[in-house]
Amino acid sequence: MGQKKDLTGSEKSKIVRYLAEGCSSLKIAKLLKRDHRTIKRFIQNSQQGRKKRVEKPRRKITAHELRKVKRAAAKMPLATSLAIFQSCNITGVPKSTRCAILRDMAKVRKAERRPPLNKTHKLKRQDWAKKYLKTDFSKVLWTDEMRVSLDGPDGWARGWIGKGQRAPVPLRRQQGGGGVLVWAGIIKDELVGPFRVEDGVKLNSQSDCQFLEDTFFKQWYRKKSASFKKNMIFMQDNAPSHASKYSTAWLARKGIKEEKLMTWPPCSPDLNPIENLWSIIKCEIYKEGKQYTSLNSVWEAVVAAARNVDGEQIKTLTESMDGRLLSVLAKKGGYIGR
């Protein structure tokens, strides 16, 4: 008669029935042809029963402590619930309770990525808004560069997954895979470009001017009428390759100087409407967690997405400038979002 570790469900039922009939554990072992120790162990475990879970008394939060937590949450943005409660000297509160309390007075958010604005930046943004308040923005060409990677921005591959389905496993690369630098412009309801910067080229003053010569000036600007060129205002940000003396002098030789070259306040991507175009294109090329296997494939996706942006969408962006300027003045130079 061999010893077995586990009893079947039917054997356990028989043991209970035999015990009710007054049989001893030794007799039950003989009847079931099981080891006596196995039967005895089952009977002992059954008699002991389950131990009751002793619940620890929960920490009660007073109204005064709630006010302290609310003040701490306001002073400590993006802090964890534990850090907030510890700053208030409130201990012994489980995480579930902390989060439930904080949900009534705060929200979980990610840090916003935007340049910091100091007092000088805000004053220059206000001066810029006052200078261009009466400008006809339909004549302004808004330009910028965007880098697109094979995998897309971090944190974008989130979405609903049906019950019973598994989330797709993203492609992982040893060295990141690199990316493509794209230049484009928008004016009124027209998209200029996009144009691709040659792989491996680092944009300094000389290479940036040569890039504009080969793309923007030869492929688009040269085809425009003399009256259009006379009225167009060229905008670019304060990147070193844009704001250098070399680049400014080069643009001046092209006829883009003085009032035809828009001055730009520091740390102000929120004022450039083409940033919204980049968001539209990125949402399209990276939707559903899309990834790419080559730089050419991601560039083709950018071109296709740009073609799908219609003139009305671009016009909405360029016509938003009056509202942006008023928002800058209303916020005294503060960040207005996009």
Q: Out of 120-124, 160-164, 220-224, 305-309, which region has the weakest mean confidence (pLDDT)?
A: 160-164
pLDDT in tens, 126-169: 999 999 999 999 999 999 999 999 887 654 455 555 666 666 66
Specify whether the backbone of 88 is left (phi greater than 0), alpha (psi in -120 to 50) or beta.
Answer: alpha
Q: Considering only 56-60, 147-151, 192-196, 269-273, which range has the smallest mean pLDDT?
A: 56-60
Per-residue pLDDT reduced to its tens digit, 244-258: 999 999 999 999 999
Q: Is the pLDDT of residue 32 over 70?
A: yes
Residue 42 above 60 pLDDT?
A: yes
Residue with tokens 């493509």: 180
pLDDT of 54 above 90: no
Tell me the average pLDDT across 283-305: 91
How much is the pLDDT for 1? 45
Mean pLDDT of 249-268: 95
* pLDDT, tens digit, 9 for 90 and up, residues 199-239: 888 899 999 999 999 999 999 999 999 999 999 999 999 99
SS (H, E, C) 198-244: CCCCCCCHHHHHHHHHHHHHHHCHHHCCHHHHHHCEEECCCCHHHHC
- CA distance between the termini of the chain: 80
* Cross-strand pairs, 181: 147
Per-residue pLDDT at 74? 86
pLDDT, mean over the chain: 87
Question: Residue 285: pLDDT above 70?
Answer: yes
Q: 155: helix, coil or strand?
A: coil
Report pTM.
0.68
Write the DSSP string, 88-151. Answer: TT--S--HHHHHHHHHTT----PPP------HHHHHHHHHHHHHTTT--GGGEEEEEEEEEESS
Q: Identify which of 13, 317, 12, 328 has the alpha carbon closest to the alpha carbon of residue 188.
A: 317
